[in-house]
Amino acid sequence: MATATTTTTTTRLLSAHQTLVHSTLSSFTKPTSLKTIRLATLTKLHVSSPTNNPISATKPSQETIFFDGGAHYGDLVANLLLGFTLVWLPLTLAAVLRGFFLRYRFTNLRVTVISGLTGQDRSDFSYKVIKDVQVVPRFIGEWGDVIITLKDGTKVDLRSVPRFREIANYCSSMASADNELEDTAAAKGF
């Protein structure tokens, strides 16, 4: 009998303690400072999956992939054949690394360049920041380089891209469509 009374008393004390701790912790709020708010606004996140934030009416609701692939296989084969010469060996090594560790992804929202041994080195940028797109054909026009100039002056060189003319036209059209949306949004008012 004494054991049952001790157990119920201990259970009551524990539940009262848990209720007290829970109510104390839920009422505690961390004060925010201007420095914390400024740091939160300057942080850039590069994600490939959609966020949980609601999307505005001007952005599409789904991210559709236009092109997802690596460097053109012809670049790798041509450089391997020319790699038997000692002079071409560094270019062959660069082509092998490009062929195995470089991926390009063009969607309706952004351009993504994934590189590195495990794919951890990643660059994402929106079509809104594209200023100019140029192409340089390689071999006999089978593949080529796409040079994208951003509005801040940065040049992004995408080497050995298959379907490079089609991709360059797509980037140009998406950049001009985004710029037209910005122009019409800025023209509001009296």
Q: Nearest-CA neighbor of 164 among 104, 78, 91?
A: 104
Q: What residues make up the domain containing 89?
A: 65-185
Task: Average the pLDDT over each of 32-36, 48-52, 102-106, 108-112 and give the range with the smallest value.
Answer: 32-36
Q: Tens digits of per-residue pLDDT, 126-146?
A: 999 999 999 999 888 889 999
With residue 74 as reference, give the H or E element that holds it: helix 73-82
Specify the DSSP class assigned to residue 190.
-
For 64, the token pair is 């559709």
In a domain, 21, yes or no: no
* pLDDT score recorded for residue 23: 43
Q: How many CB atoms lie within 10 A of CB 123?
A: 12
Q: What is the CATH number of the domain that holds 111?
A: 2.30.29.30
* pLDDT score recorded for residue 44: 43
In a domain, 169, yes or no: yes
In a domain, 11, yes or no: no
In a domain, 152, yes or no: yes
Instruction: Kindly indicate the confidence band of residue 85, based on its pLDDT and cuts at 50, 70 and 90.
Output: confident
Residue that wins the pLDDT comparison between 132 and 35: 132
In a domain, 127, yes or no: yes
Residue 65 has phi, psi (to 5 degrees) of -90, 125
Q: Tens digits of per-residue pLDDT, 11-28?
A: 444 444 444 444 444 444
For 7, the token pair is 């157990």
Residue 170 in contact with residue 106, Cβ under 8 Å? yes
Instruction: Provide the whole-model pTM.
Output: 0.61
Q: What is the mean pLDDT of the chain?
A: 74
Instruction: Kindly indicate the confidence band of residue 116, based on its pLDDT and cuts at 50, 70 and 90.
Output: confident
**Average pLDDT of the residues in 20-45:** 42
In a domain, 60, yes or no: no
Residue that wins the pLDDT comparison between 150 and 46: 150
Residue with tokens 């790699």: 83
Number of domains in the chain: 1
In a domain, 93, yes or no: yes
